[in-house]
Amino acid sequence: MVKVVVLGAAGGIGQPLALLLKANPLVTELGLYDIVNTPGVAADLSHIATPAKVVGYLPPDEGLKKVLTGADVVVIPAGIPRKPGMTRDDLFKINAGIVRDLATGIAITAPKAFVLVISNPVNSTVPIVAEVFKKHGVFDPKKIFGVTTLDVVRASTFVSEILGDLGKAPSISVPVVGGHSGVTIVPLLSQSTVPLPSGFAKSDLEALVNRIQYGGDEVVKAKDGAGSATLSMAYAGAEFAAKVIKAIKGEKGIVAPTFVNLASDKASGDALKKEIGQDLEYFSAPVELGPEGVVFINPLGKLTDYEKTLVQAALPELAISIEKGVSFIGSSKL
């Protein structure tokens, strides 16, 4: 039995994500919560002939408490998206409070659930969830995750485009490490499972890295004021959630990219801090998952000189964004 809850389930990401989770045969209950429209979304999805029982709640009558009761996995895509000209950090003002309040509900009602944070800015919202859990005395660093899967999905797609064969996209895997915003997104293309063409020019490599780092902006620009990536994010979020669910059910060898607290596995977290040369509290990397959460954080491994400069360039912004999330809760009355 696996109950998955989506907070922000009526939104641009929430609805297609809920659809993909309803289609996952391992999900036995799907709880939907938003400040609007969840009864309708739940009624619609509930007609699909898959195992998950679907329930939808709104804030009145303790909807958050009801939806979270018995949750194994909670996915959070609640919050506002970017418009052209905005950075993800510009969303902090509104989304930090939304994520804090939802995290408070999880800490009270489902403190042992795996929490998958999609709401931006991820580099700050993940520390916000962790700090709320600490204040409630229920913090387990192994179970709080920033969803960075979309960066990895984009890297696979863009590499396959360069190879002129989209059919290869599903088999291409590129580790993307660091965080989820601009320069903090660091693709390690030298470790792609399918290499780039031999003689790939440095300028082309830089353009590819830039496209992966700013893939979100590409969609924000194309949507022209109507929001940011929703469908590709739902796909990526469902892929990450599916791995988490398999790990919970005891499948071995599940590895997924995600932004985690480096105390979640002390030995591998400390080794990663050594590799990057900084005592950061959070970083994204491919992480091995088990029934209790993080088992092992993979090392960055062998990097090119260019990749080393990209990692170093990510660190200052990451440190600032993490601290911003931590101090927001430090100063919040919960």
Ligand X SMILES: NC(=O)C1=CN([C@@H]2O[C@H](COP(=O)(O)OP(=O)(O)OC[C@H]3O[C@@H](n4cnc5c(N)ncnc54)[C@H](O)[C@@H]3O)[C@@H](O)[C@H]2O)C=CC1
User: Nearest distance from residue 121's CB to ligand OAA, in Å?
Assistant: 8
Return the number of other C-beta atoms located less than 10 Å from residue 221's C-beta. Answer: 13
- Out of 220, 297, 300, 322, the only residue in the binding site for ligand OAA (CB under 6 A) is 220
> Is residue 109 at the binding interface for ligand X, with CB under 6 A as the rule?
no
Measure the CA–CA gap between 296 and 293, rounded to whole angstroms. Answer: 9
120 binds ligand OAA (CB under 6 A): yes
Q: 100, 142, 180, 246: which is the annotated catalytic residue?
A: 180
Asked if residue 118 belongs to a known ligand binding site, the reply is: yes
Tell me which of ligand OAA, ligand X, none is bound by residue 35, counting a contact when its beta carbon lies within the kind-specific cut-off of 5 to 8 angstroms: ligand X
Question: Rounded CA gap, 217 and 221, in Å?
Answer: 6
Q: Within 10 A of 13 (CB to CB), how many other CB atoms are there?
A: 29
Is 47 one of the catalytic residues?
no
* Residue 39 interface partner, choices ligand OAA, ligand X, none, CB cut-off 5-8 Å depending on type: none
Distances 95 to 65, 87, 144 between C-alpha atoms, Å: 20, 13, 17
CB 262 within 8 A of CB 155: no
Contacting ligand OAA (CB under 6 A), which of 30, 64, 68, 88? 88
Asked whether position 182 contacts ligand X by CB under 6 A, the answer is: no
Under the binding rule (CB under 6 A), the answer on residue 230 touching ligand OAA is: no
- Comparing C-alpha atoms, which of 191, 213, 194, 210 is closest to residue 202? 210
What is the Cα–Cα distance from 234 to 35, expressed in whole angstroms? 19
Is residue 189 close enough to count as binding ligand X by CB under 6 A? Answer: no
Residues that bind ligand X (rule: CB under 6 A) add up to a total of 34
Q: Which does 118 bind (CB under 5 to 8 A by kind): ligand OAA, ligand X, none?
A: ligand X
Q: Which stretch binds ligand X (CB under 6 A): 19-27, 29-37, 152-160, 289-297?
A: 29-37
Q: Which part of the chain contacts ligand X (CB under 6 A), choosing from 225-233, 260-268, 300-308, 315-323?
A: 225-233
Residue nearest to ligand OAA (CB): 216
Applying CB under 6 A, does 150 fall inside the site for ligand OAA?
yes
> Binding partner of residue 220 among ligand X, ligand OAA, none, CB under 5 to 8 Å per kind?
ligand OAA
Determine whether the annotation assigns residue 86 to a binding site. no
Decide if 253 contacts 288 (C-beta within 8 A).
yes
Rg (CA), the chain: 19
Nearest to 10 by CA among 34, 39, 27, 46: 34
Residue with token string 């959630």:
241
Looking up tokens 């790939």 gives: 200
146: left (phi over 0), alpha (psi -120 to 50) or beta: beta
Annotated binding residues for substrate, as ranges? 82, 88, 120, 154
Q: Return residues touching ligand OAA (CB under 6 A).
A: 81-82, 88, 120, 150, 216, 219-220, 228-229
